[in-house]
Amino acid sequence: MDHLDQLEAQSVFILREAYRKLKPLAMLWSLGKDSNVMVWLAKKAFLGRVPFPVMHVDTGKKFPEMYKFRDEYAKKWDLNLLLGECPPVEDMDPSLPPAARSAARKTAGLAAMIEKHKLQGVIAGIRRDEQGTRAKERVFSPRGASHKWDIRNQPPEFWDQYATPHEEGMHIRVHPLLAWREIDIWRYIEREGIPLVDLYFSKNGKRYRSLGDSDITFPVESNASTLAEVIEELETTKTSERAGRAMDHESEDAFERLRVAGYL
Amino acid sequence: MSEKIYSSQDAATPIVIVGHVDHGKSTLIGRLLHDTDSLQDGKVAQIIESSKKRGLKIEWSFLLDSLQIERDQGVTVDSTRIPFRLGQREFVIVDAPGHRQFLRNMITGAADAEAAVLVVDAQEGAREQTRRHAMLLHLIGIRHVIVLLNKVDLLDFDQAKVEAVEKSVTELLNKLGLEAALFVPASARDGDNIASRSERSPWYKGPTLTEALASVPSPASRSELALRLPVQDVYRFDNIRYVAGRVERGRVRVGDTVIIGTQKTPARIASIESWHTAPHVSASAGQSIAVTLEPDVIPDRGDLLHHADAAPMEASRVRVRLFWLRQEPLRVGEHFRLRLATAEHAVTVTAIDKVVDLDDLTEHPGTEVPPEGFAEIVLSAAENIQFDPFTPGTTDGRGVLVDRQQRIVGGAPIIGPATIADGEKVIHPSASTVTVQDRERAKGHKGSVFWLTGLSGSGKSTLARAAETRLFADGVDVTVLDGDTLRAGLCKDLGFSEADRTENVRRAAEVARLLRDAGQVVIVALISPLRSDRDLARQIIGDGFEEVFVDADLGTCEQRDPKGLYAAARAGKISGFTGIDAPYEAPAAPALRLVTGKDSVEAATKTLVTFVENTVRNKTGARAQS
């Protein structure tokens, strides 16, 4: 088994644990590269189908290419797609910096979805190498009644045993991609032929490395216009993947505050 | 193995860094990342900026403390994974915090590491957490340990002083059955012997830390071992039944005959199914697969699939090396679920054999495991557990204890089957092929033991007999073991000394266990005045032991005195009589308390009968007290 095989096998194992132990369960589909890989892995785990709903918590501010992609592949992949709306930015914590405040809408939209569908498990495509606070996550991460992440009191997790405590109002975030690196995601996309929004590829010397809301996400300088070129670029780069995500950089702790409150 | 050529296509090698608080782990990591040019652009500037803000010169450890709260507190809160590269080989550093209450974070980080760097302050030597962390490395199964003797500049790089520390740490590791791959004398702050050879320690000829890391062996393949495929789940999609699971070791091929679980059902692997890959005819260790079986049997989650010629061990009692993660002590009689791969068994702690003293790493017999302590204990299940003993480098025997809320409370690597400790007689109890479930189905209820304890004259026998009549009429297969009846036969060789009373309790408990195993409901009516004796009974009986306190005060009992025994004791005709000149230790938390000094026999009987019925017929609310 090569490294990608190992990552795939581990993610399949995690998805099968989640499907067995957490009901009702749903997967978040942000339409980005990581969540496409995640849908693909679910199809690997469950012999070509996704046996739980796939949710898109829609801020209404994604790129038009992303909406087109969503509608096309929801059909092609035979997904049970649930759409969730987000409250207006005026309802969000005014003490957050502007981009983080805008991103907080997604947290509120997600919380509403979780309550509406009484979800016990929510599968999300975050990775440890993306960002410092995500590095501290568990594969099965319990969220309290207000969806808060209690960083200082995380359960032990070892030997592929995942705690599944259940109390009224809490749910578990499941992170099947936690061990993947950005370059692993791209190599797997290349190996498997997983479709992507073409915003990830260079046009006029710029491409998106990470996709979020169109007003708070910016492209990076790049001439990589094919999968092979993107992989080659990543082998040498030393800038961070989320450099183009405004909310990460507004203040030292903005992203952490978002995550503690339930952001992905 | 060490000749392997690495590339960025390979998995990163996880390395865990452990050690006592303030011995320099975070500084080491910061230095390592800097010296191997593994930092993202701007990161160094960011550290300098953060350090300046807090009035410090340059603090390498800030690199790890990516959480705001950590920086303000000056403690690394949780394990973090940081990638770095040596040549073409990639590593992930797992930083494990040294603060004692964060033990579970360290285990979370360390469990999948290939090697460990144990950082020891050369001036301070091994401390409490050095011992604790080394112990955990041992229990979690990490064999490749590099000891970094840090802050050697404080010893002026003096060879004799460094070697003295090395000797004491070696002795410590040997006590744990660990052997260090090597010792590196270093100063993480100044960079000596980290990525480059130090001129200040010309006598040291060994590798630098980065050279040592580069030669960490890659994991051995588990594909050549005997097959173990634990069932993770069974799906039915489009009328096809798929048995899903991950091959833990060995190889499985289409056409193989496999044996399933403790029921030992044979079946043939009809196909290995997958989506969007070339068809598989075989699968090996590490792969998550789905198979179809012929005949189309339905295994349970947790059943092991193996080949007939290489079966795992089987025992209902297993001895484990516990690392206990709770903040409260663990005692005999506590119930848990033992997870082993995908299997889960209800278990009871039936013995605590050895408790580790972390001050000197000696082992002592004990009655409880201290908070976050280490011990060798015995876990007993009602059914057989299939397992392979814990072996580092494999997933064998990786037992984990969870509580009723499915929270992980400890690691329990399995040493092997547990024999009954008493005198270690070589006995081979034969196992019944009639299962607990078979008996339950036939009788319509579970086997259980209700242990009535209380003063002489409190009404134990009266209640037991009245309940027996009532339960029998309701179709419950019930037996009463009464103190006087036992002493008339089975125990007629025993007197009333403390040792004889303990033996009396032991025999009653053993008989009760046999009857319970046969599916009966057993009501034991025995003064059993000592808490330790009742704990012994609980330990022998295990699951399904319910303590019932028949509570009447001494005055009432003495007034009743149905057998004239209190009068005789008061007159000095009998000695050692419970309540008069021998103690009665009332249960602290009985499952049921019957206040017979106050309630009528009729009311107390009714309460007891309801409690028994609810318990053995699996109804809820069985725990209500009278």
SS (H, E, C) B514-542: HHHHCCCEEEEECCCCCHHHHHHHHHHHC
Residues B87 and B203 grouped into a single domain: yes
Distance, C-alpha A57 to centroid of its chain: 11
Cβ partners under 8 Å of residue B620, min gap 6: B614
Interface with B, mutate which of A126, A140, A158 (most B CBs under 10 A): A158
At residue B99, the pLDDT reads 54
Given an 8 Å threshold on Cβ–Cβ distance, is A136 in contact with B290? no
Average pLDDT, rounded, for chain B: 86
Answer whether residue B576 is part of any domain: yes
At residue B43, the pLDDT reads 65
Please say which residue of B215, B248, B263 terminates a domain.
Answer: B215
Is B338 annotated to bind ligand?
no
- Residue B426 confidence (pLDDT) above 50: no
What is the mean pLDDT of the segment spanning B578-584? 85
Cβ partners under 8 Å of residue B304, min gap 6: B228, B229, B230, B231, B260, B261, B312, B341, B343, B386
DSSP B133-201: HHHHHHHHT--EEEEEEE-GGGGTT-HHHHHHHHHHHHHHHHHTT--EEEEEE-BTTTTBTTTB--TT-
At residue B432, the pLDDT reads 66
Question: Which residue among the candidates B528, B532, B575, B600 is catalytic per the annotation?
Answer: B528
Q: Which of B98, B136, B99 is nearest to B120 (CA)?
A: B98
Q: Which residues of A touch B411 (CB under 8 A)?
A: 158-159
Per-residue burial over B269-287, b = 16 or more CB atoms within 10 Å of its CB, e = otherwise: bebbbbeeeeebebbbbbb
Given an 8 Å threshold on Cβ–Cβ distance, is A165 in contact with B405? yes
Residue B347 binned pLDDT confidence (cut-offs 50, 70, 90):
very high
- Residue B22 confidence (pLDDT) above 70: yes
At residue B8, the pLDDT reads 63
What is the mean pLDDT of the segment spanning B571-591? 85
What is d(CA B359, CA B617) in angstroms, rounded to the nearest whole number?
48
What is the mean pLDDT of the segment spanning B556-572? 86
Residue B107 binned pLDDT confidence (cut-offs 50, 70, 90):
confident
- Residue B72 confidence (pLDDT) above 60: no
At residue B1, the pLDDT reads 38
At residue A201, the pLDDT reads 95
At residue A254, the pLDDT reads 66
- Total domains, chain B: 4
Given an 8 Å threshold on Cβ–Cβ distance, is B400 in contact with A161? yes
- Do B466 and B459 form a contact (C-beta atoms < 8 A)? no
What is the mean pLDDT of the segment spanning B154-159? 94
Across B94-98, B418-422, B603-607, the highest mean pLDDT is recorded for B603-607
Is B458 annotated to bind ligand?
yes
Answer whether residue B621 is part of any domain: no
Check residues B51 and B416 and name the one with the higher pLDDT: B416
pTM above 0.80, yes or no: no
What is d(CA B105, CA B493) in angstroms, rounded to the nearest whole number?
56
Answer whether residue B243 is part of any domain: yes
Residue B69 binned pLDDT confidence (cut-offs 50, 70, 90):
very low
Dihedral over alpha carbons A66, A68, A72, A78 (to 10 degrees)? 50
Answer whether residue B170 is part of any domain: yes
What is d(CA B18, CA B33) in angstroms, rounded to the nearest whole number?
17
Mean pLDDT lowest among A35-44, A171-180, B66-75:
B66-75
Interface with B, mutate which of A136, A178, A220, A251 (most B CBs under 10 A): A136
Residue A47 binned pLDDT confidence (cut-offs 50, 70, 90):
very high
- Do B138 and B177 form a contact (C-beta atoms < 8 A)? yes
Tell me the per-residue pLDDT of B350-395, one tens digit each, with 9 for 90 and over. 999 999 988 888 888 888 999 989 999 999 998 999 999 999 888 9
Cβ partners under 8 Å of residue B579, min gap 6: B455, B456, B554, B557, B558, B566
Per-residue burial over B104-117, b = 16 or more CB atoms within 10 Å of its CB, e = otherwise: bbbbbbbbbbbbbb
Q: How many CA atoms, within 13 angstroms, populate the side-chain half-sphere of residue A138? A: 28
φ and ψ at residue A46, rounded to 5 degrees: -115, 40
Given an 8 Å threshold on Cβ–Cβ distance, is A157 in contact with B108? yes
Residues B22 and B111 grouped into a single domain: yes
Residues B323 and B269 grouped into a single domain: no
H/E segment holding residue A183 = helix A182-192
Residues B471 and B587 grouped into a single domain: yes
Domain CATH for B562:
3.40.50.300
- Do B99 and B19 form a contact (C-beta atoms < 8 A)? no
Quickly list H helices, B180-258.
209-214
**Sign of CA pseudo-dihedral B559, B564, B568, B574:** negative
Given an 8 Å threshold on Cβ–Cβ distance, is A161 in contact with B83? no
Answer whether residue B431 is part of any domain: no
Residues B226 and B210 grouped into a single domain: no
Mean pLDDT lowest among A56-60, B245-249, B576-580:
B576-580
How many Cβ contacts (< 8 angstroms) between chains A and B?
A: 141
Cβ partners under 8 Å of residue B440, min gap 6: B446, B447, B519
SS (H, E, C) A7-73: HHHHHHHHHHHHHHHCCCEEEECCCCHHHHHHHHHHHHHCCCCCCCCEEEEECCCCCHHHHHHHHHH
Please say which residue of B246, B277, B307 terminates a domain.
Answer: B307
Check residues A186 and A90 and name the one with the higher pLDDT: A186
Cα B41 to Cα B37, B47, B84, B247, distances in angstroms:
10, 12, 14, 41
Q: Which residues of A touch B12 (CB under 8 A)?
A: 181
Answer whether residue B242 is part of any domain: yes
What is the mean pLDDT of the segment spanning B146-158? 95
At residue A247, the pLDDT reads 66
- Do B115 and B144 form a contact (C-beta atoms < 8 A)? yes
DSSP B49-72: HHHHHTT-S--GGGGT--SHHHHH
What is d(CA A175, CA B30) in angstroms, rounded to the nearest whole number?
27
Residue B619 binned pLDDT confidence (cut-offs 50, 70, 90):
low
Residues B606 and B524 grouped into a single domain: yes
Please tell me if residue A20 touches chain B, with a CB cutoff of 8 Å: yes
- Residue B415 confidence (pLDDT) above 90: yes
Residues B151 and B18 grouped into a single domain: yes
Residue B448 binned pLDDT confidence (cut-offs 50, 70, 90):
very high
Could you tell me the residue range of the domain that residue B245 belongs to? 222-307
Cα A112 to Cα A31, A83, A116, A147, distances in angstroms:
20, 11, 6, 11
Tell me the per-residue pLDDT of B481-490, one tens digit each, with 9 for 90 and over. 988 888 888 8
At residue B203, the pLDDT reads 95
Check residues B75 and B327 and name the one with the higher pLDDT: B327
H/E segment holding residue B567 = helix B565-570
B507: left (phi over 0), alpha (psi -120 to 50) or beta: alpha
Given an 8 Å threshold on Cβ–Cβ distance, is B275 in contact with A163? no
Please compute Rg for chain B using Cα positions. Answer: 31
Residues B109 and B184 grouped into a single domain: yes
Instruction: Measure CB to CB from residue B275 to each of A16, A20, A48 and give the nearest one.
Output: A48
Mean pLDDT lowest among A130-144, B134-148, B430-444:
B430-444
- ipTM for the complex? 0.92
For B29, the 3-state DSSP assignment is helix
Residues B194 and B325 grouped into a single domain: no
Residues B345 and B367 grouped into a single domain: yes
Neighbours of B449 (CB within 10 A): 27
Residues B275 and B370 grouped into a single domain: no
- Is B432 annotated as catalytic? no
Counting residues of chain B whose pLDDT is more than 70, the rounded percentage is: 88
Domain CATH for B406:
2.40.30.10
Q: Which of B557, B552, B556 is nearest to B593 (CA)?
A: B552
- Residue B41 confidence (pLDDT) above 80: no
Q: Which two tokens stand for residue B116?
A: 């460990």
Of all residues in chain A, the one with the smallest CA distance to B13 is A3
Please say which residue of B279, B307, B335 terminates a domain.
Answer: B307
Answer whether residue B607 is part of any domain: yes
Counting residues of chain B whose pLDDT is more than 90, the rounded percentage is: 47
Tell me the per-residue pLDDT of B509-522, one tens digit each, with 9 for 90 and over. 999 999 998 889 99
Of all residues in chain B, the one with the smallest CA distance to A164 is B406
User: What is the C-alpha end-to-end distance of chain A, expressed in Å?
Assistant: 31
- Residue B70 confidence (pLDDT) above 50: no
Residues B64 and B206 grouped into a single domain: yes
At residue A149, the pLDDT reads 77
- Residue A252 confidence (pLDDT) above 60: no
Tell me the per-residue pLDDT of B543-552, one tens digit each, with 9 for 90 and over. 789 999 999 8
Domains, in order of start, for chain A: 1-179+251-259 (3.40.50.620), 195-246 (no CATH)
What is the mean pLDDT of the segment spanning A148-169? 84
Residue B30 binned pLDDT confidence (cut-offs 50, 70, 90):
confident
Tell me the per-residue pLDDT of B244-301, one tens digit each, with 9 for 90 and over. 999 999 999 999 999 999 999 999 999 999 999 988 999 999 999 999 999 999 999 9
Tell me the per-residue pLDDT of B181-221, one tens digit each, with 9 for 90 and over. 899 999 998 899 999 999 999 999 999 999 999 999 888 88
What is d(CA B115, CA B428) in angstroms, rounded to the nearest whole number?
41
Please tell me if residue A36 touches chain B, with a CB cutoff of 8 Å: no
Pairing of the two strands B144-150 and B115-121:
parallel
At residue B612, the pLDDT reads 93
At residue B303, the pLDDT reads 97
Interface with A, mutate which of B78, B271, B277 (most A CBs under 10 A): B78
Q: Which of B512, B602, B610, B592 is nearest to B547 (CA)?
A: B592
Tell me the per-residue pLDDT of B455-476, one tens digit each, with 9 for 90 and over. 888 889 889 999 999 999 988 9
Answer whether residue B207 is part of any domain: yes
- Do B290 and B269 form a contact (C-beta atoms < 8 A)? no
Please tell me if residue A225 touches chain B, with a CB cutoff of 8 Å: no
Is B459 annotated to bind ligand?
yes
